[in-house]
Amino acid sequence: MQALFVDNLTVIDFAYFHSDRGIVGESLIMDVELQGELNDEGMLFDFSFVKKRIKSCVDALVDHKFLVARQYKGLTIKESPQQLTLDLVCTNGLHYQHLSPHQAVHFVDSDVITAEAIADSIQQSVAAILPDNVTGLKINLRPEIIEGPYYHYSHGLKKHFGDCQRIAHGHRSRICVWQDGMESPDLVKQVSELWTDIYLATEEDIKESVSIDGVDYWRFEYHANQGLFQLTIAKSKCFLIESDTTVELIASFLANYLKRQLPESSIRVKAYEGVDKGAIMSA
């Protein structure tokens, strides 16, 4: 029995529902191991096909989606041919409502979202696209090792033609900040604490303000290429900015936000969007 492995095959960026934390942005690195018999070319599976086929399959299943544990007791599902509406209640009583086309959500057959549960949920679909000589498949999903603070954020980009338009997808990201040319751990910590499990929202996407059980909520809504998107979320879990929330505009916002606090200093921000990509802005 031969084995073939590909580490760091892809990164999936998504948001998921946590019973205590609410909607959480996450980025997980994917490693795969294939087992089986060599083919006539003396190969188990061509690396180029591993990368293209498996990455495409996984992207279609979970990347830039809202992942929800189907067995979570605080979940209510309403379906129509065009729309999927999810009502979710945290253990602390906060409500969330997510309305979107069906393709923006991936259900995991579990009562909690974990990396292992996600891997299990995509195992069968990935195995189905492999050639007959591949008889074993192992999928490992793991977070990037980040030394020091980082931030989780979720968002949606209504102007994006691709899957970033989905109103609740997200990232787990590094943040680097320099003050007057020197790295500033204090400013990195400030950003990390400011945006802990936060939903980054654009002011113009506010549809209305509502109150549920005495708690104030924003309801965001927009129409994008894939359809109608709507999210109702407690105001305490949101951070509003005037612009859209592309990583370029996030880096610009943070640089200027910190510059207003330190007007005599030069500020440089390197904002990551998930793993090994992002934007840089100076102010």
pLDDT digits (tens, 9 = 90+) for 103-115: 999 999 999 999 9
More confident residue, 33 or 62: 62
Q: pLDDT grade, residue 91 (50/70/90)?
A: very high
- Domain boundaries in the chain? 2-172+202-240
What average pLDDT does this structure show over 20-35? 94
**Per-chain mean pLDDT for the chain:** 93
Q: Is the pLDDT of residue 44 over 60?
A: no
Most confident option among 36-40, 133-137, 230-234: 230-234
Query: What's the CATH fold of domain 2-172+202-240?
Result: Tetrahydropterin Synthase; Chain A (3.30.479)
Integer Cα distance of 275 and 256 in angstroms: 23
Name the pLDDT band for 46 (thresholds 50, 70, 90). Answer: low
Q: What is the pLDDT of residue 120?
A: 95
Residue 129: count other Cβ atoms within 10 Å of its Cβ: 12
Mean pLDDT score, 263-283 = 97
Element (H or E) spanning 125, and its range?
helix 115-127
Closest by CA to 139, choosing from 25, 61, 43, 48, is 61
Q: What percent of the chain has pLDDT over 90?
A: 84
Query: How would you classify the pairing of strands 198-202 and 238-241?
Result: parallel
User: What was the pLDDT predicted at 1?
Assistant: 64
Report which of residues 52 and 72 the model is more confident about: 72
Residue 15, pLDDT above cutoff 80: yes
Q: Is 260 exposed, middle or buried (0-12, 13-18, 19+ CB in 10 A)?
A: exposed
User: pLDDT of 211-231, one tens digit each?
Assistant: 999 999 999 999 999 999 999
**What is the per-residue pLDDT across 121-147, written as a single tens digit (0 to 9) for each?**
999 899 898 877 777 889 999 999 999
Q: DSSP characters for 17-48?
A: EETTTEEEEEEEEEEEEEEE---TTS-SS-HH
